[in-house]
Structure 1
Amino acid sequence: MSVLPLVFTSGWASGINAYAVVLLLGLFGATGLSDDVPESLQRPEILVTVGVLFLCEAVADKIPYVDSVWDAAHTVIRPAAGAWVGALLAGQSGSVSDLAAALVGGSTALASHTVKAGTRMAINTSPEPFSNFVMSTAEDLGVAGLLTLAMFHPVTAAVIVGVLLFGGLVVLCFLVSRIRRFLRRRARRREERRTASAAGQPPGRVPWADPD
């Protein structure tokens, strides 16, 4: 069977939480639950490293504004991780070329990362912090659940991921205006800090939302 459904699902998951993907795949292989996981993902030093990074992301991803900074820093990392994992999975199975799998994994990771980062920007326009925690927890559970499903029923998982990805892109289109306000507010904050610093005064309070 082609490994592309698993690559597609792992790419989507990498765009949301790349460290969780590598950690889960490595554990699946190390515990013998799956023979489709390359040995390079099962190495103890890899598991320890991504485990620590996963814990860092689990904290940063639930804090308003910190999550958006974290997302910006991972704009390259997540698609690269999706491409890397896809190529490794293809090399393990031999059913498709490494390059094709890397393209699928990387492009899917980039798409899901865009949805996640954009949605978080929109959520950060709200002053309450609980939506960040709820969204982050839902994303973590979704990554774990769908990646586990993909190990045993890859086609089913890929179909679900396709629906989620399409729906996320549609929702993101409706959130563009809120994202623009978020970016304008952040730029205004930086300008006020620079102005206050030049004048030797503390910056003034910036409202949560634009007056318009």
Structure 2
Amino acid sequence: MDPVSAIALTLGVGWASGINLYAAMLALGLMGATGAMALPPDLQLLASPIVILAAGLMYAVEFVADKVPGVDSGWDALHTFVRIPAGALLAAGSAWSIDPSIGLAAGLVGGTLATAAHATKASTRLVINTSPEPFSNWGASIGEDIAVFAGLWAAVQHPWVFIVLMVAFIALVIWLLPKLFRVMGRIFRRIGRWLNGGPEPAPAAPAGPQSVRDPPNRP
């Protein structure tokens, strides 16, 4: 595997694992089993029929859970402890055969990308779930699944294109995450007030011209 392909695969497995780990494992396993790509030695286990079956089963479970508002946020919270370390391990495995030190560096990069992708997905879903209709949730979930499969295919078939898209994704995350965190903070404060039985704060009155002047100070 040439260096560009190794970099693209490292970035791809880390990013995809943060969004949908089971879809990423299923995609890599199927591409390896069908000969669409030559998996690195440390990732060839993903092409095992048992691993493909397990990844497919868990992907089916996540496919359903990810379409139910509220359940998807709980699923994301639980998978904080699964997607990030798995993304780091898969990224390390994609480059470990080149050199263990490169594999360790790849694991650090992959874990960071998995964290960024997971945080973006989880916070976006939490904001979307404030809407009562389920269609935006379904659209986001299906779009994420398509992005994982298409992104890993691009990382294997068109590594330079994928690397450029990943740089754009990182720039988007840097711009978007602070805004999402501020919205999430307002949501959590509103939930806290509701749980405590407190009233919602009244919206601030719009500023306007002062109708009554302050009386002059008298000596």
TM-score by length of 2: 0.81
Which deviates the most, 63-72 or 172-181?
A: 172-181
Cα RMSD for the two superposed structures: 2.4
- Does residue 1:71 correspond to 2:73, yes or no? no
Change (3 A) 1:210 1:134: farther
**Do 1:181 and 1:210's aligned partners in 2 also have CA atoms closer than 8 Å?**
no
Give how far 1:59 is off: 1.0
Q: Say which SS state the counterpart of residue 61 (structure 2) adopts.
A: helix
Matched residue, 1:154: 159
- Which ranges of structure 2 fall in alignment gaps of 5 or more residues? 204-219
| Identity over aligned pairs, percent | 41
Matched residue, 2:8: 5
Matched residue, 2:120: 115
Give how far 1:126 is off: 1.6
- Does residue 1:22 correspond to 2:19, yes or no? no
Matched residue, 2:139: 134
From 167, 170, 176, the equivalent of 1:171 is: 176
Change (3 A) 1:35 1:183: same
**Do 1:15 and 1:109's aligned partners in 2 also have CA atoms closer than 8 Å?**
yes
Matched residue, 1:202: none
Change (3 A) 1:159 1:191: same
For 1:162 and 1:113, the matched residues in 2 are separated by: 17
Give how far 1:162 is off: 2.2
Which deviates the most, 171-180 or 4-13?
A: 171-180
Give how far 1:142 is off: 0.8
For 1:190 and 1:29, the matched residues in 2 are separated by: 50
- Does residue 1:59 correspond to 2:64, yes or no? yes
Instruction: Work out the number of aligned pairs and report it.
Output: 198
For 2:165 and 2:145, the matched residues in 1 are separated by: 16
User: Deviation per CA, 1:104-125, whole angstroms, max 9, x where unpaired?
Assistant: 1111101111111111111112
Matched residue, 2:108: 103
Change (3 A) 1:190 1:100: same
Matched residue, 2:85: 80
- Does residue 1:182 correspond to 2:157, yes or no? no
